Amino acid sequence: MSAGTVDRRLRRLRRDFDQSFAEPARSHDEEDLELLTIRAGGRPYAIRLSQTSGVHPDRPVTALPGPQPALLGLAGFAGAVVPVYDLAALLGHPVADVPRWLVLAAGSPALGLAFHALDGHVRATTADIVRDSGEPARAGRRGGLRGLVDLPGGSRPIIDIPATRAMVHALAGHTPAAEENAP
């Protein structure tokens, strides 16, 4: 390697180093979106990883009697008892078999959402999200969905955990605590 080549390479490295401080800082979280890709009722969906607090396979769920078919029962997590709902039933799909996977929803009150298959974890950019209005989802069977994400295997509807929690509260006839205290 000649002295001229080394000198050019050093100048380029110095320029790139200085340029890295001249550019504005970029936030990884604002540009990227971490998603769990799942299947519920045989259909592909995505869940924002930031809206979850854990994913568990084969978690025992104690069935409860009652008229609500989406309520699978109760499961224990670190000393807490958590109601578990079947995502396929909440989304209006026929429930053919018992879901294997369970995701704990972030936030409170505690909520478990069961699904049939975990396809994986992917990172998408916010540009890959289409039709995410940012508005609260409507109540109803499909009210837990907000937007689509374009991924290499195809587009997937995004399950919005806060909207799904609101839907579960409506199914159970429960009014969230903040509304109970309102004048």
Structural domain span for residue 90: 32-172
Task: Classify residue 16: in a domain, yes or no.
Answer: no
Mean pLDDT of 27-40: 82
Task: Classify residue 88: in a domain, yes or no.
Answer: yes
List pLDDT tens digits, range 68-116: 889 999 999 989 999 999 999 999 998 778 999 999 999 888 999 999 9
Task: Classify residue 177: in a domain, yes or no.
Answer: no
Mean pLDDT of 12-26: 77
CA 150 to chain centre: 15
Task: Classify residue 182: in a domain, yes or no.
Answer: no
- Residue 57 one-letter amino acid: P
**Beta carbons of 75 and 152 less than 8 angstroms apart:** no
In order of 13, 154, 159, the CA distances from 31 in angstroms are 27, 20, 19
Rounded to 5°, the CA angle 58-59-60 comes to 110
Confidence of residue 28 (pLDDT cuts 50, 70, 90): low
Task: Classify residue 179: in a domain, yes or no.
Answer: no
Task: Classify residue 10: in a domain, yes or no.
Answer: no
- Residue 32 one-letter amino acid: D
Q: How far apart are CA 45 and CA 40, in angstroms?
A: 7
Mean pLDDT of 156-183: 77
CATH code, 98: 2.40.50.180
Mean pLDDT of 44-70: 93
The number of folded domains in the chain is 1
Task: Classify residue 136: in a domain, yes or no.
Answer: yes
Residue 176's pLDDT is: 64
Task: Classify residue 44: in a domain, yes or no.
Answer: yes
Among candidates 81, 77, 54, which has minimal Cα distance to 161? 54
